[in-house]
Structure 1
Amino acid sequence: MNSTRHEEFREYMADRGPALLRAATRLTRDRGEAEDLLQAALAKTYLAWDRITDRAAIDGYVRRAMVNTQISWWRRRKLEIYPTDELPDRPVDDHTRRSELHDALGRALRRLPERQRLTVMLRYYEDMSEAEIARVLGVSIGTVKSTVSRAMSKLRDDFSWGDEPPPPPAAR
């Protein structure tokens, strides 16, 4: 029983680890902290593995564990941070520019047809393979490849205009 649990968990980590690490990175905005956060959440998940009866809900369990752990770490760190007259050696990150790009990408994704948006989200946000996406959507791998290709082409068109707004869709 214990070795089966261990193998199931190892397979889950190998399969979903990269996507979960991206989610952790979005929470922490730091790769090192994201790795620590994911490791802590996976440790909690491993301890609860036998209690999770719905295997489709494991990602949600891990993400909730990451959010709860991040909140705990944030509260603890908040007590440890004191104002100082010294400036950090690292340059300050431009959160405004990153936020603008994130918003622009969100708008561009929403403009895609539903199937294209879904394939891009599954491929790049959930880190699913083309075969997995084909199985989930009930289409061929070739359909997945061409759909992702068309979606990425549209997204590139949306972002190729630099500082100028893109022309209306009819003018393209």
Structure 2
Amino acid sequence: MPGVDRHQDFEAYARDSQRRLYRTAYLLCGDADDARDLVQSTLAKLFQHWRRASAANHLDAYARTVMTRTFLAERRRRLRDLLAHGPADPPPAPLHADLRVTLLAALAELPPRARAMVVLRYWEDLSVETVARLLKCSESTVKSQCSRSLARLREQLGEAHVYTTES
């Protein structure tokens, strides 16, 4: 079956060249996640046109060309989107970064279900009824668990919560 051999040839090439492609993609993108995405897009395009790609004299050069063109097209698309939608406001600097780390550490000390209740109730600002429905428990359980959890957080944070009122 010629189609099966073609698929096996592509899989072998993808397996053997993935690291090489990733290194090149990382140098192009400068970011690990973007590099992985670029490698996947490149491999997808190679697979789509494998008959033509596998006939190339230098398959690695062909793959690098596909990768580079994909990278540039993506950058052009991002630039067009940026120009069309205007520059995004920069994210605000995190206020009280040390308090945020302390709060995350204190939340991590809560049992998973209690942590979920606190996050859903106070961070996501969901109602008691909604949290109870999501976690399949009674409203009184949500109220009591949140009350205990907040007391525990206040105890762990000590005076740290005082800084949240300063501007």
TM-score (norm 1): 0.47
The structure with the largest alpha-carbon Rg is 2
More helix by share: 2
Q: Which has the higher contact order (CA 8 A, sep 6+)?
A: 1
TM-score (norm 2): 0.48
